[in-house]
Amino acid sequence: MAPGSYPLLNMAQGIVTAGITRLIGNTPLLRIRMFERDFPKLEVYAKAEWFNPGGSVKDRAALSMIEDGERSGALTHQKTIIDSTSGNTGIAYSLVGAAKGYRVKLVMPGNVSAERKALVVAYGAEIVYSDPLEGSDGAILKVRELVAADPDAYFYPDQYSNPANVRAHYDGTAIEILEQTSGRVTHFVAGLGTTGTFVGTARRLKDQDAAIHTIAVQPEDSFHGLEGLKHLPTAIVPKIWDPSVADEVWGCPTEPAYDLAREVARTEGLLVGHSSGAALWAVRRLAETVREGVVVTVFPDSGDRYISTGLYGSKAR
C-alpha cells in the first residue's frame, strides 16, 4: 500500500485506523491570506504538513524509505535503522521504527533544537551527536563512519540519496496538491533540504502540466538560521537533487523568513517553523512579479518544535 493511502472506518465517535503509520499523508491544503490585500488576484495555499502524526513532512519520506527497505529485504528486525538528520526525519524514523518494532539510531548536530532531541528520545531512539559547527554535513560524514565500521549491523536509508524519498512526494504530495486544487495550481514553491519534497512534487506536477512554474528555496548563504534547509553551493549536494525540475532557485535571507513566520502565526493562527517562513518569503517575491495565479507551497512543520530557538521570542507586538 502506498504511503498516505489508508482504509478508514468512519464511526459516530471518530475515525478508526489500523495503525499510526496509516495516518501519514493526505494533509490539508490551507488558504493563506496574508498577501491578499496587495495581490487580490493571487491565491496562495500551503500544505499543512504538521498534520502528519510525527509532526512534519518528513513522515512521508521516512515511511517510504523504511517500507522500501522492507520490500527489498535490506531492512530486517536484526538491523538498526541509522541515518543523519537535523531533526524532523529523525523524529519520523523514530515514530515509524517504534510502530514497526525497529531499533533506531540517529546522528544529529549537537545544536538542533531541544524539542527535536526530546521527541526522538521519547520514541525510544538513540542519538549520536556530531559537531554542531559542521551542521548537517558533519552529521552525514559521521553516520557514514558508523556504517562503514559495522555495515551488517545497520539499515542506512540515506535520505539524501534514496529515490524512495522522492517517490513519497511524486506519488503522494503532488497528487494531493493536484486533487486539492482541482488541477488549478500554476506555481509551486518549496524549500531545499534533502531536496526530496521539492524534486518529487515538482517532477510530478510538471509531468501533469509542464507550464506549472516551480521555484526552489535555499538559504542565501552558508551561514544562516534556516534550520532544515541547505545552501547547496557550499554543502554536500544530495544525490537525489535534480535541478532540471526547478525553473528557478532562490536564496532566502534569514531574518525576513523569521519575520514572516511570526507574522503568519499572529495574523492567521499558523505556528510554523523557519523553513515555512522561507517559503513565505519566496511566495511574496513571486507575488510581486506574477500578481495572479494559484500558488502552492509546503509548510514542512509546526513552530512548536522551535520555541527554544527564539524564533517566536523576539519582535513581539
Catalytic residues: 58, 275
8 A C-beta contact, residue 212 and residue 241: no
**Separation between Cα atoms, residue 86 and residue 112, nearest integer Å:** 6
Nearest to 262 by CA among 222, 309, 209: 309
For residue 280, give the C-alpha cell: 513565505
Radius of gyration of the chain from its Cα atoms, rounded to whole angstroms: 19
For residue 260, give the C-alpha cell: 514572516
Residue at 100: amino acid letter? K
Exposure of 263 by Cβ count < 10 A (0-12 exposed, 13-18 middle, 19+ buried)?
Answer: middle
For residue 237, give the C-alpha cell: 549536494
8 A C-beta contact, residue 54 and residue 97: no
| Total Cβ atoms within 10 A of residue 266 | 13
8 A C-beta contact, residue 27 and residue 300: no
